[in-house]
Amino acid sequence: MNVNRMGSKEKTKVLVVYYSQTGQLRNVLGHLVQPLLKAPDVDVVFEELVPERPYPFPWTLSSFFDALPDCIDSTVQKVMPLKADTAVSWDLIILGYPAWFLRPAPPIQAFLASEPAQKLFRGKPVVTVAACRGMWIMAQEQIKRGLEKAQGVLTDHVAVVDQGNAVASIVTTVRWMLTGNKGAWLGLFPPAGIHPDEIQRCSRFGDALLTALRQPTWPSQRPYLRGLGAVKVDPRLIASEKIGHAFLRFFGRALAHAGPAGSWRRRIVLGLFLALFIPLIVVMVPIRMVLLRALQPLLRTRLHSLKRQFEEPSGSDESSGNPLTNL
Ligand SMILES: Cc1cc2nc3c(=O)[nH]c(=O)nc-3n(C[C@H](O)[C@H](O)[C@H](O)COP(=O)(O)O)c2cc1C
């Protein structure tokens, strides 16, 4: 690392900042950085973000949707002071986040908007890692804006998503969040969350990062995770994410204006929200499929270019053609 790159004996310093409620993302990050943890020339420091107002797990239906206003307004939640030293010149920062209501989870938003984050990210290479059900596109756009503001340099993005198709994972995630039960269900639904094999395979990203960090050219030749299937955007979900994002912003604001969590006005707005939200999901999925099939010839080029845009910088290619691993 620094010994190769800059001729000094200092170890390469990697900071892993994350928030993970059930520990799933922590597990993903643990496998991802395994090769770095084993490397004698790298120091890895983990910084788990702790929200000032913790979220319950399992959730009740109302506490789950009461988290929506926190996701819409990044100033509502705060995080405990960091343990990591913001004055240290980190060679790489890995920022891990789960998506909540198509946005980064509130502790991540709170952290990104904080003063220490502005110091921490300035001029530093950053790899973002989303571990979620599968709808992270809009969340990552928000992360990109936050990093840009803090002058962080996004080198790569990894998204690791739940097993099962988009519809099944809505059911399995909601059941998991509301009951704590992750198991397969009714012979119809797979276990909730990311498949354990997928989590194990994340060490391939750590291998590529280790090779990259040891190059004298780090971090100028980014991205480093191309060819490893770091992300995969389903073009059919792009429209759903954009519509859902605007819909959730509207209701998040309405909930916040209605009053504090538990107040009767807020309960009424929440009831209205649920009465619209659940039918919207049930109705939107088949309508979206029919519309997309009908309009595919017209939309193909546009969707393809959006897919490529949202998959930047690391891409969905799985050919393992990462040039650095062959050095
Ligand atoms: C309130 C809430 C909202 C969520 N919304 C989304 C979402 O919009 N998109 C998505 O892919 N996953 C969503 N999820 C699932 C999370 O991204 C993640 O998979 C799950 O919370 C487990 O992550 P963790 O235990 O590592 O924090 C949501 C979870 C919660 C608790």
- List pLDDT tens digits, range 168-217: 999 999 999 999 999 999 999 999 999 999 999 999 999 999 999 999 99
Distance CA 177, CA 17 (A): 23
Choice between 168 and 1, residue whose per-residue pLDDT is larger? 168
Residue 37 CA to ligand 1 center (angstroms) comes to 27
- 205 and 283 assigned to the same domain: no
Band (pLDDT 50/70/90 cuts) for residue 7 is low
Among protein residues, the one with the nearest Cα to ligand 1's atom 4 is: 100
Residue 249 and residue 288 in one domain: yes
Residue 68 Cα: closest atom of ligand 1: 1
Asked if 243 and 120 sit in the same domain, the reply is no
The CA 97 to ligand 1 mean position distance, Å, reads: 9
- Residue 286 CB partners (closer than 8 Å, separation 6+): none
Query: Residue 238 CA to chain centroid, in angstroms?
Result: 16
Question: Nearest-CA neighbor of 309 among 96, 142, 141, 134?
Answer: 141
Q: How far apart are CA 246 and CA 254, in angstroms?
A: 12
Going by C-alpha positions, the residue among 75, 150, 156 that lies closest to residue 120 is 150
Question: Is the pLDDT at 54 greater than 90, yes or no?
Answer: yes
- Give me the mean pLDDT over the 288-313 stretch: 88
Ligand 1 centroid to Cα of residue 98, in Å, is 5
> What domain range is 208 assigned to?
2-232+312-326
Clarify whether residues 162 and 285 are in a common domain.
no
Same domain, 284 and 322: no
pLDDT in tens, 128-165: 999 999 999 999 999 999 999 999 999 999 999 999 98
Atom of ligand 1 minimally distant from the CA of 161: 11
As given in the structure block, the two tokens for residue 79 are: 């995080």
CA angle (309 as vertex; 240, 302 as ends), nearest 5: 65
**Total tally of structural domains belonging to the chain:** 2
The CATH number of the domain where 132 resides is what?
A: 3.40.50.360
Nearest atom in ligand 1 to the alpha carbon of residue 59 is 31
- pLDDT tens-place string over residues 76-86: 999 999 999 88
- Beta strand pairing call for 99-100 and 125-132: unpaired
Are both 116 and 245 inside the same structural domain?
A: no
Pocket around ligand 1: residues whose beta carbon is below 6 Å from it? 20-25, 64, 67, 98-102, 131-136, 173, 177
Is there a single domain that holds both residue 121 and residue 226?
Answer: yes
Closest CA to 104 of 28, 159, 34, 57: 159
> Residue 117 has what pLDDT?
96
223 and 94 housed in the same domain:
yes
Instruction: Based on the fold, state whether residues 138 and 272 are members of the same structural domain.
Output: no
CA 244, 97, 308, 141 dihedral sign is positive
- Counting from 1 in the atom list of ligand 1, the atom nearest the Cα of 22 is 25
